[in-house]
Every structure is written in C-alpha cells, then in structure tokens.
Amino acid sequence: MNEVINTIQTRRSIRQFNDKPISKEDLELIVDCAIHAPSGMGKDTWYFAVVTNQDLINELIDIMKVELNNNAYTMYHPTALIIPANLKDNSHGMEDNACALENIFLASHSLNIGSVWINQLRHYMDSKNLRTFLEKVGIDDSMVVYGIAALGYYDTKPVPKIRKGKFAFFE
C-alpha cells in the first residue's frame, strides 16, 4: 500500500494522550509539513507556535476553562500544542490554516503521534486573557487563531473509521 494513502486512510483524532514527550526533531518535522501546505495565492502569512512547556499548556487550558465556564475542560492534556495563527486581513487565512492543520495531523499520524483539532479558541479572540497568552507565544493582535492541534503519544492504536461521506462519478 502507498504509505501516504495508508496514512490518510488510517488517521484518527486522538483524545487521550500519555506523558511521553514528543522530540523536538519530530515537532520540527511536523511543523515543516505544516508550512508545506498550500496557501491562497501562496501568501504564507501563517505562523505556528509550537508549545511544549507544560506550564504554558496548563495556562491556556485554565484560560479556556474560564472562557467556556467549564471546569472540566482539559484539551485532552496534550504534551504539545501547535497553534497556527494567520493575519486577520488575509481573506484565505482560515482555509490556509485548515490545510496546514491537516498536514500536521497526517505527519503526526505517520510518526505514530496522536493529534486532534481543538476548535474553541477561535470564539474567544476578543478575550483579554487569551490575547495575553497568545502574545507570549508570538501571536499579536494583527493575527487570529482558528483551529489548533493538540498532540501526544497514545497507548491505544486508533481504529480506522467507516466513513459516511458520499461521492459520485459522472463519466
């Protein structure tokens, strides 16, 4: 089987991570795959904050607990976060970052690293506490965050999922 196709067809969202850290080398490889994604008009105005500092990860989780008014929110306790941001005034920013995120998920899966899209931040871009956090990781208020990636190793190998999506040929 072609390895790329196998990686695409077996990727799953992982929502339970163990404590094993991801090497910097692997994270560099994963984020390098992100910057190889297509971007509208080749603008490449994205920026990726790769966060492995557990205090920073916990700080973000705590901010989101308050914003969401949900004390049980954990972001699945990842060992790493990749936070893609893009310029507010790039009209393709959301699509570009989604392409980059998919590369992150596929590259992670190919390295047996689990990952999942975390969607909540985008709804709190006006939050002062979230903005203060984002500044700390290099994301200023000219930028916005859409989805982010939570990453970590998993104990249980993901099972491929039967897909409901439809397609048709017209030949």
Ligand X SMILES: Cc1cc2nc3c(=O)[nH]c(=O)nc-3n(C[C@H](O)[C@H](O)[C@H](O)COP(=O)(O)O)c2cc1C
Q: How far apart are CA 170 and CA 166, in angstroms?
A: 14
Mark 16-45 with x for binding to ligand X (rule: CB under 6 A) and - for no binding: ------------------------------
**Least CB distance to ligand X at residue 12 (A):** 4
| Options 57, 81, 118, 139; binder of ligand X; rule CB under 6 A | 118
Q: Which is nearer to ligand X, 98 or 137 (CB)?
A: 98
Residue with tokens 């990726």: 48
Could you give the count of Cα atoms lying within 13 Å of 133 in the half-sphere of its Cβ?
24
Report d(CA 62, CA 132) in Å as an integer.
13
- 3-state SS, residue 23: coil
Q: Measured from the CB atom, is 49 or 64 closer to ligand X?
A: 64
Q: Are strands 47-51 and 143-145 parallel, antiparallel or unpaired?
A: unpaired
- Closer of 78 and 147 to ligand X (Cβ): 147
**Out of 147, 148, 149, 151, the residue judged to bind ligand X by CB under 6 A:** 147
Interface stretch with ligand X, choices 16-24, 53-61, 116-124, 128-136 (CB under 6 A): 116-124
Cα separation, 66 vs 58, in Å, equals: 12
> Shortest Cβ distance from residue 50 to ligand X (Å)?
19
Verify binding: residue 13, ligand X, rule CB under 6 A. Answer: yes
Between 56 and 106, CB nearer to ligand X: 106
Identify whether the C-beta of residue 158 lies closer than 8 Å to the C-beta of residue 114.
yes
Q: Which helix (H) or strand (E) holds 151?
A: strand 148-152
Query: Shortest Cβ distance from residue 74 to ligand X (Å)?
Result: 11
Is residue 65 a contact residue for ligand X (CB under 6 A)? no
In angstroms, rounded to a whole number, what is the distance separating the alpha carbons of residues 92 and 165? Answer: 25
Binding site for ligand X (CB under 6 A): 12-13, 15, 116-120, 147, 161
